[in-house]
Amino acid sequence: MATPQQYYRDLPPVSKTYGVICLMTTGAYHLGLLHIRTIALVYEDVLKRFQVWKLITNFFFLGPFSLTFAFRLLLIARHGVQLERGPFDKRTADYLWMYFFGAISLLVMSIIPVLWSPFMGASMVFMLVYVWSREFPNARINVHGLFELKGFYLPWYMLAVDLVLGNPLKPDLLGMATGHLYYFLTVLYPLAGGKYIFKTPLWVHKLVAFWGEGFQLNTLVQRNSDAGSSFQGRSYRLGGSRTSDSSRAQASGDVQARASAAAQARTSPQANRADGVASRGRSHRLGSR
């Protein structure tokens, strides 16, 4: 069984980063290092006081330390990680774009006063759960050892649990709506014959390449080899672009040795055996005896 350090090291980059930031945000709030007003989404502060960071920071607060917070963090560590390792394997940019799309959609929805919420991290987590339920609809989930549930019905079960516990349902419903919109545009609509126009933007690919974490197939942007490490262990000596005399001599000797070996092979009696072999390699001409 893996140690906690090994488990943390093996987590995929996007889910790990988002979970750690959420944990650190709640920890800072619990220790009194962070005032909740400074990260809450208040459009008056954004538009009039230019506190634009609140458009991002509100997604990193999952609530104070509680069972609800632990449960949401567990959803990221389980279902978010399964998504990143499964359907989004080797598609880090596409998975990160899903987060960006969810954030943008939730911000647009929150413009409507009825749908506004100061913190939409819970909706983001519920979006992950909904997308997971569509990607793993036949997965069997053991619910507290009482009964099994198909993955497709997991969001509805969680919605029912929040209803019984008296938790607000608006974050769950917003997350489900955002997740369904994303899944429709990226999977259902193209499968129905529609044109796939919802591609991951180039700037997301560049961001992943600059970040240096994860991997993206079929990308036109090369990964930043210097990202994620302060020292790559590469050293170059001065004048390294020039070839030394000893190196040139060694290379010349190797070429001459290969040339003499080839000449010897052509004149060797074994090479002229009448066995129909034109080459001592793997290929044989047709009609060999």
Q: pLDDT by residue (tens digit) across 197-243?
A: 788 999 999 999 888 887 777 665 655 555 443 333 333 333 444 34
Q: Is the pLDDT of residue 282 over 50?
A: no
DSSP state letters, 151-219: GGGHHHHHHHHHHHHT--SHHHHHHHHHHHHHHIIIIIHHHTT-----PPPHHHHHHHHHHT-S-BTT-
Residue 191 vs residue 264, higher pLDDT: 191
Q: Is the pLDDT of residue 277 over 70?
A: no
**CB distance 224 to 212 below 8 Å:** yes
pLDDT band at 2 (very low <50, low <70, confident <90, very high): confident
**CB distance 104 to 156 below 8 Å:** no
DSSP state letters, 103-158: HHHHHHHTTSGGG--S--HHHHHHHHHHHHHHHSTT-EEEETTTEEEEGGGHHHHH
Q: Is the pLDDT of residue 247 over 70?
A: no
**CB distance 219 to 90 below 8 Å:** no
- What is the pLDDT averaged over residues 72-100? 94
pLDDT band at 258 (very low <50, low <70, confident <90, very high): low
Residue 196 has a CB neighbour count (10 Å cut-off) of 11
Mean pLDDT score of the chain, rounded to an integer? Answer: 81
Q: Is the pLDDT of residue 256 over 80?
A: no
pLDDT band at 94 (very low <50, low <70, confident <90, very high): very high
Mean pLDDT is lowest, of 36-45, 98-107, 164-173, 271-280, for 271-280
pLDDT band at 65 (very low <50, low <70, confident <90, very high): very high
- Express as a percent the part of the chain with pLDDT over 90: 60
126-179 pLDDT, tens digit each: 999 999 999 999 999 988 888 899 999 999 999 999 999 888 999 999 999 999
